[in-house]
Amino acid sequence: MNAEIIIYTGRQCHLCDQAKDILSPLLDQKKLHLRELDVGSDVTLQKKYGLRIPVIVLPNGQEKGWPFTAAQILRLLG
């Protein structure tokens, strides 16, 4: 089973695009998979994350909302 980072995103979300750009080199470095979930596809997700996207969920279940840097994510990944 591959470890993954989940990113909650939305349609035409430029901040989400920036977050994915930050995550991209870290995924290769840490051998992680990125699973993207559009909050618009689910009412529960929309209520929980709609105003906060992008939000990532690390393999340990910890959430980190925007803004974040690559260094912050690396520290959280350990």
| pLDDT score recorded for residue 77 | 93
Report in angstroms the alpha-carbon separations of 21 from 15, 43, 47, 70: 10, 27, 25, 10
- Under the banding of pLDDT at 50, 70 and 90, the label for residue 78 is confident
pLDDT, tens digit (0-9, with 9 covering 90-100), for 16-43: 999 999 999 999 999 999 999 999 999 9
Superfamily of domain 4-77: Glutaredoxin (3.40.30.10)
Domain boundaries, the chain: 4-77
- Work out the mean pLDDT of the chain and round it to a whole number: 95
CA atoms within 13 A on the CB side of 16: 21
What percent of the chain shows pLDDT beyond 90?
96
| pLDDT score recorded for residue 2 | 65
Question: pTM, whole model, 2 decimals?
Answer: 0.92
